[in-house]
Chains A and B, each alone.
Chain A
């Protein structure tokens, strides 16, 4: 086994903030190497340095013994380093085939040989066990297929080093298993694979070695087989094992005070999209929506928040029918919605953390009743402290925060309006375990305060852990409603899988 990619003392500063402080790493040919760390530990920054998005402030990189210094992702890709990002960053208007072969198209003189490109794209996808029409625009495909296309692109580019940043957060269990099969095959063919994930199960199922970063610094590298989970967690959070045990311990979903149904959903349906759905949401209770990818989870949320309004059915709040024809109308009914798509539907990247937090509250007050600056600052400070948001200050642009901290800011945005019902769509996607626990604990606290929560997650364990009622979805319809003791992973899986 030889080191295919070597990093020595990589340092990256943004102004006077050190995002990486002397990180060294050796990726061997024929290994799957997991990169672990909490939000803001520097994982994403390190990957961006390797792939040429950011230039390192200090330190060196060697690929197969040659010093490299990629100035752009394109240069890195040419050198043999391909990346599959957390959020798919291909071109949605181009076809799958074009996305996969872009930059290495088969040419005939000055013309692109589209037929050959499609054939190569089909072949690359076939290696992943995916069969789709490669002439379809990427944007029209499900996220899972887009992810597979990104990986197929890496194969097509004959990458020597493959970097995967949270590749599984949008895939269902079957797709994850398929992906892992492919990654193991690629490893056996001698590729070096650097894998970032927050799912400990996946890390242990897949990786040979594990490197941990904390607060931009290098903590250490271990053989996965020789590193117990608790020890890994303690390295990540920088606390002794005993504290980690407490942190990792499952929090029991306490029932909280029941105050009767606040929101009753009756026969809610959007024609041709999803439904009908009928369920009740109680004050102080968390209701989960469980189902496979594409089972209609997000569609329910979008109907309830008036983004894609329902075409029939009704929603009552405290017995009165409310109209949910737009997000504003839904907010007036006391609803709040945290989207699964942070980047597109959540954050305002160039505005400050403060402005991001006060946005919904200000919107509900209207433009003319401006929240005084001092109150805005107090509000932002309160939430930054209460939710442990890691930021240099309330005036830092939102885009500079890590994914988990952005998610906390978005939670703060909706907590500030004190809603009756909080709809959380994948609130913990792409977030490390420490922050995941914090967000789950936060949900429990909000419920105790009398809030109703609609909790949507692809991770069934999370739904089971957090919810006192679970609506199981199948094929964009309601399959079953489970309550209390009837909620179990097994029961949900059986319902989901029923023909």
Chain B
């Protein structure tokens, strides 16, 4: 398991440090309570909120970044997904129909990203920027630019219900991560993704389906965004086309990079990204608990992320080693 040692170390250390700080600064932080057949508490909230958006998005984003790309459209695709589901249930569709259609559409739009990148050979940042703008527009179109509230027990259960005492998003994201991990490492897709990100030309010349790899990761990223959008809409029992998922793609990128997957592509760690996302969510809540005004909260957040990313840099670690043991001149 040496693959997991280095990428996980720093985000985990940062997470633990943050938790220790919270334990000291806000008494009752770790209190967990069993009520009406489910768990309540700050820690559960962090996991729940973390699972709903950053963790899910980070799963898809990890694979995209591992191929050396980036997906800026996930925030907008969240809005598309929420809008489709809300409009569908309001039109009397069943839960399965609404969810199925939303996920299908988001995976399809992710696939379009993949086609633009793998076949049309657009730069990932441009292709997904186009989809980011187009997706937001599509969500507006579907909802008539209005917030769409809905009353549908099944759909609201997704974010508010509990399975085995845990809020649904937690087991859901763990399940998706586990499935993805087993699928990628049990087949050769994991290797193909890492190879494509490390050297695309060499991978193509070794017979790898590099185009197929790209289609797959962008479609998966779209699917993850779709799931996240459903949970986000379910949480407030409404789809808000203008604000849903706004700038959340950046959270996902932060989580992935903090989790030890390099933006230049190659090696990836799903577990690292999940920890990175959890770190981000804990940080958000910590700042809120410390009464840092939401408007300035991004500043300390950015600093912590910077530190974690710097810790990942091999160059910096080498420099650090040089400071500690200056060689004889």
Binds A, one of B109-117, B198-206, B220-228: B198-206
The reply to whether B207 and A350 contact each other, CB–CB distance below 8 Å, is no
Q: Which of B180-235 contact A (CB under 8 A)?
A: 186-189, 191-192, 194-195, 198-199, 201-209
B-chain residues with CB within 8 Å of residue A345 when the two chains form the complex: 201-202, 205
The reply to whether B199 and A348 contact each other, CB–CB distance below 8 Å, is yes
The reply to whether A60 and B329 contact each other, CB–CB distance below 8 Å, is yes
B263 CB to closest chain A CB (Å) equals 13
| Given A57-B327, A58-B328, A370-B187, CB of A348 within 8 Å of CB of B207 | no
Q: Which of A196-225 contact B (CB under 8 A)?
A: none
Q: Which residue of B lies closest to A365 (CB)?
A: B188
The reply to whether B329 and A364 contact each other, CB–CB distance below 8 Å, is no
The reply to whether A349 and B198 contact each other, CB–CB distance below 8 Å, is yes
Q: Which residue of B lies closest to A57 (CB)?
A: B327
B-chain residues with CB within 8 Å of residue A360 when the two chains form the complex: 206-207
A-chain residues with CB within 8 Å of residue B187 when the two chains form the complex: 367-368, 370
Residue of A348, A366, A370, A371 with highest tally of chain B CB at under 10 A: A348
| Given A58-B327, A367-B187, A371-B188, CB of A351 within 8 Å of CB of B205 | no
A-chain residues with CB within 8 Å of residue B189 when the two chains form the complex: 367
The reply to whether A370 and B186 contact each other, CB–CB distance below 8 Å, is yes
The reply to whether A67 and B207 contact each other, CB–CB distance below 8 Å, is no
Interface digits, B247-280 against A, CB 8 Å rule (1 contact, 0 not)? Answer: 0000000000000000000110000000000000
* One of A350, A364, A370 near B198 (C-beta < 8 A): A350
B-chain residues with CB within 8 Å of residue A365 when the two chains form the complex: 188
The reply to whether B209 and A305 contact each other, CB–CB distance below 8 Å, is no
Given contacts A348-B199, A350-B267, A360-B207, 20 further A-B contacts (CB under 8 A): A55-B327, A58-B327, A58-B328, A69-B329, A327-B205, A339-B205, A345-B201, A345-B202, A347-B199, A348-B266, A351-B198, A355-B191, A359-B191, A363-B206, A363-B207, A366-B188, A367-B188, A367-B189, A367-B209, A370-B187
Q: How far is the CA of A359 from the CA of B203 in the complex (A)?
A: 8
The reply to whether B188 and A362 contact each other, CB–CB distance below 8 Å, is yes
Q: How far is the CA of A339 from the CA of B198 in the complex (A)?
A: 17
A-chain residues with CB within 8 Å of residue B202 when the two chains form the complex: 344-348
Show the binding face of B for A, using Cβ within 8 Å.
2, 186-189, 191-192, 194-195, 198-199, 201-209, 266-267, 322, 327-329
Q: How far is the CA of A384 from the CA of B209 in the complex (A)?
A: 27
Q: How far is the CA of A47 from the CA of B320 in the complex (A)?
A: 24
B-chain residues with CB within 8 Å of residue A346 when the two chains form the complex: 202, 205
A sample of 22 cross-chain residue pairs with beta-carbon separation below 8 angstroms, ordered by A number, consists of: A56-B327, A58-B328, A60-B329, A307-B205, A327-B205, A331-B207, A344-B199, A347-B199, A347-B202, A351-B195, A355-B191, A359-B191, A360-B206, A362-B191, A363-B207, A363-B209, A367-B189, A367-B192, A367-B209, A370-B186, A370-B191, A371-B188
A-chain residues with CB within 8 Å of residue B329 when the two chains form the complex: 60, 67, 69
| A383 close to B (CB within 8 Å) | no
Q: How far is the CA of A350 from the CA of B191 in the complex (A)?
A: 12
| A74 close to B (CB within 8 Å) | no
| A420 close to B (CB within 8 Å) | no
* One of A56, A60, A69, A364 near B207 (C-beta < 8 A): A364
A-chain residues with CB within 8 Å of residue B267 when the two chains form the complex: 350-351
* One of B186, B199, B207 near A328 (C-beta < 8 A): B207
Q: How far is the CA of A103 from the CA of B224 in the complex (A)?
A: 47
The reply to whether A370 and B206 contact each other, CB–CB distance below 8 Å, is no
* One of A67, A339, A351, A366 near B194 (C-beta < 8 A): A351
Q: Which residue of B lies closest to A307 (CB)?
A: B205
B-chain residues with CB within 8 Å of residue A363 when the two chains form the complex: 192, 206-209
B213 CB to closest chain A CB (Å) equals 9
A-chain residues with CB within 8 Å of residue B207 when the two chains form the complex: 327-328, 331, 360, 363-364
A-chain residues with CB within 8 Å of residue B191 when the two chains form the complex: 351, 355, 359, 362, 370
Q: How far is the CA of A189 from the CA of B41 in the complex (A)?
A: 79
Residue of A331, A344, A359, A368 with highest tally of chain B CB at under 10 A: A359
A-B interface, 3 closest residue pairs, ranked by CB to CB distance from nearest: A363-B207, A348-B198, A370-B188
Show the binding face of A for B, using Cβ within 8 Å.
55-58, 60, 67, 69, 305, 307, 327-328, 331, 337, 339, 344-351, 355, 359-360, 362-371, 395, 413
A143 CB to closest chain B CB (Å) equals 17
Q: How far is the CA of A453 from the CA of B208 in the complex (A)?
A: 23
Q: How far is the CA of A67 from the CA of B327 in the complex (A)?
A: 14
Q: How far is the CA of A326 from the CA of B15 in the complex (A)?
A: 47
The reply to whether A359 and B208 contact each other, CB–CB distance below 8 Å, is yes
A-chain residues with CB within 8 Å of residue B198 when the two chains form the complex: 348-351
A-chain residues with CB within 8 Å of residue B201 when the two chains form the complex: 344-345
Q: Which residue of B lies closest to A358 (CB)?
A: B191
B-chain residues with CB within 8 Å of residue A339 when the two chains form the complex: 205
| Given A57-B327, A362-B191, A367-B209, CB of A351 within 8 Å of CB of B266 | yes
Q: How far is the CA of A367 from the CA of B217 in the complex (A)?
A: 14
B-chain residues with CB within 8 Å of residue A55 when the two chains form the complex: 322, 327
Q: How far is the CA of A371 from the CA of B186 in the complex (A)?
A: 10
Q: How far is the CA of A367 from the CA of B194 in the complex (A)?
A: 13
Q: How far is the CA of A345 from the CA of B199 in the complex (A)?
A: 8
Q: Which residue of A lies closest to B325 (CB)?
A: A57
Q: How far is the CA of A347 from the CA of B267 in the complex (A)?
A: 15
Residue of A367, A368, A395 with highest tally of chain B CB at under 10 A: A367
B-chain residues with CB within 8 Å of residue A350 when the two chains form the complex: 198, 266-267
Q: Which residue of B lies closest to A376 (CB)?
A: B191
Residue of B203, B205, B328 with highest tally of chain A CB at under 10 A: B205
Q: How far is the CA of A367 from the CA of B186 in the complex (A)?
A: 10
Q: How far is the CA of A26 from the CA of B204 in the complex (A)?
A: 45
A417 CB to closest chain B CB (Å) equals 8
B-chain residues with CB within 8 Å of residue A344 when the two chains form the complex: 199, 201-202
A-chain residues with CB within 8 Å of residue B195 when the two chains form the complex: 348, 351, 355, 359
B-chain residues with CB within 8 Å of residue A366 when the two chains form the complex: 188
Q: Which residue of B lies closest to A14 (CB)?
A: B318
